[in-house]
Homo-oligomer: A and B are copies of this chain.
Amino acid sequence: MDREDKLIERVRRKLPSRSRGVRIGIGDDAAVVGAPSGSVVAAVDLLLEGRHFRRDWSSAYDIGVKAAARSLADIAAMGAVNTALLVALAAPGTLPASWPVDLADGLAAEASRAGAGIVGGDTARADSVLLSVTALGDLAGRQPVLRSGASPGDVIAVAGPLGRSAAGLALLTAGVTADATSAALAGLVAAHLRPSPPYQAGPEAAMLGATAMIDVSDGLVADLGHIAAASGVALDIDSSSLVIGGPLAEAAAMLRDKSDSYGTNRGFSTHSIALEWVLTGGEDHSLVAMFPASAVLPSQWHVIGHVRAGAGVTVDGAPHAGPGGWQHFR
């Protein structure tokens, strides 16, 4: 067994191959994963160095969590439970041997949180780090919750936080690191580096009768735009219903006052900076779903707006003037 085989074996031992329904894991030509519903839900997402993460900000563990979360959230947004991940990794040969092991730890931790095994993979050398993660899931006999089912009269509700990843990115961009700040701000930085989507809320929304659902990867306004277009409806967000937590306000106040090159916030109120993160910040991978007005929603689902006849997304009845979507690293 040469050095590379030993490394692959070390990585393999980190991976949760024996979870829900995994019949054949890593090590053959392909994996075999249970699909008790008679269909499988599948999505693939790329995570690229320089675009979705920076190695000076994100540890290998962080990158593993983020790569897994990005794909796992797509499965939850269909109303399905996660069953398995397949991970393709291209990386420079100059990385320390601990790097792929730590990456596997992060992938494994987030996959386990979602109940998924890691059942397949491929690796290759490249100049920068690139991950392609395919997530598989099962609908447990339910119909998938598509983007196209929203109807006028439905309510818009969100499970999970909004704007925290964007605030964390703004802090990192301004040179604020998790080590050198308050616990509240460190939590925002962590939210950017290691998103924590509410996976179980996806199947829960399906059981509650959700008519449409998406995960917030591009930003609330942008992702609701996909729902509005697919469903042929207008969506209006009630900004007074959006939760702008203490940490977001603290980060907005700090960045507004910071007299460094990160000066784009000057002239805006703390509230408007934080609201912008909530409306347009991506990568929280929270779930936003439409429900019939009669649905009785448990506490993790928070109503933030209404579906009307028409087209497009508005905030308090008016088009949103902001950039309108998450551009990752601009």
Is the CB–CB distance between B30 and A135 below 8 Å? yes
Is the CB–CB distance between A139 and B214 below 8 Å? no
Identify the closest chain B residue to A21 (Cβ): B39
Contacts of A249 in B (CB 8 A): none
Known pairs A43-B86, A46-B122, A127-B127; A80 contacts B30 (CB<8 A):
yes
Instruction: Tell me if A137 is interfacial: C-beta within 8 Å of chain B.
Output: yes
Instruction: Tell me if A41 is interfacial: C-beta within 8 Å of chain B.
Output: yes
Interface hub of A35, A80, A137 (most chain B Cβ within 10 A): A35
Is the CB–CB distance between A42 and B74 below 8 Å? no
Query: How near does chain B come to A198, taking the closest CB pair, in angstroms?
Result: 15
Is the CB–CB distance between A44 and B139 below 8 Å? no
Q: Which residues of A in the span 230-245 have a Cβ within 8 Å of any Cβ on B?
A: 230
Is the CB–CB distance between B78 and A122 below 8 Å? no
How many Å lie between the Cα of A26 and that of B299 in the bound state?
A: 33
Interface hub of A24, A30, A41 (most chain B Cβ within 10 A): A30
Contacts of A74 in B (CB 8 A): 29-30
How many Å lie between the Cα of A24 and that of B139 in the bound state?
A: 13
Instruction: Tell me if A144 is interfacial: C-beta within 8 Å of chain B.
Output: yes
Produce 1/0 per residue, A212-228, CB < 8 A to B. 01110000000000000
Is the CB–CB distance between B86 and A44 below 8 Å? yes
Identify the closest chain B residue to A148 (Cβ): B28
17 A-B residue pairs with CB within 8 Å: A24-B144, A27-B230, A28-B144, A30-B43, A30-B137, A32-B39, A32-B40, A33-B42, A35-B35, A35-B39, A42-B119, A44-B121, A46-B90, A46-B123, A88-B132, A90-B130, A122-B132
